[in-house]
Structure 1
Amino acid sequence: MTMTKFSRINKQREEITMRVLEDMEKGGNEWKKPWVEASPLPPHNPVSGTQYSGRNFLYTYVYGMMRGYADPRWATEKQIKEMGWKIPENLQNGRGGINDELGVGIEHWGMYAYIPRVKKDGTP
């Protein structure tokens, strides 16, 4: 069954939430955010220069931990090909997560001003 973009995002949110809750339960009162000490560099995209924040930081960091990634760099498959890079062989078969993907979905949100249309007589 093909997942819609919205259902993929929800599935990813559920996976991340469950992982964080499991880690918190294992750590009890002593639980600490594991991403504070794990890498000197935050998750980022070296092509676009984007340094992930908010939930995208959490997604990339937790999925990276779950899959054993030691590298905080994230890029699209298209960017990897365009830059002439290769995905390390040890990761090519290590797919996991939603639909056995190697990557993680990044959410893009924006704020837009709502300007209602007004008729010539001034009514909405």
Structure 2
Amino acid sequence: MLGVVWHGNYIRYFEDGREAFGKQYGLGYMDVYNAGYVVPIVNVNCDYKRFLKYEDRVIIETTYTPTESAKINFTYRLLNAQTGELIVKGSTVQVFVRRDNFELQLTNPDFFMDWKQQQGLI
């Protein structure tokens, strides 16, 4: 349907939210990369409530959800900036993979444990 945002773009908004979160809280993609890891997404959920039109502006609320597992969980709420209406709710799960050999990390990397401690999560 022309005039409305394509459904796949909402996943891009999730990425924008993760990047902004990382910059604000010191958990950016380059921080992870420089620590020797990449963090591919292994699960994404997107629950569409309403749609955005091309001219609409969006507010992206990104929340880190703590877990003891070696993964990064985020939840998202996308709101229409003009009306405040909830457009989409969603979540992502990312895992730690070593950058040098692409092996899945089954325990939390040291840098991530340090980050959690700095954030008062442990």
Please identify the structure whose Cα radius of gyration is greater: 1
Q: Greater strand share, 1 or 2?
A: 2
More helix by share: 1
User: TM-score, normalising length from structure 1?
Assistant: 0.28
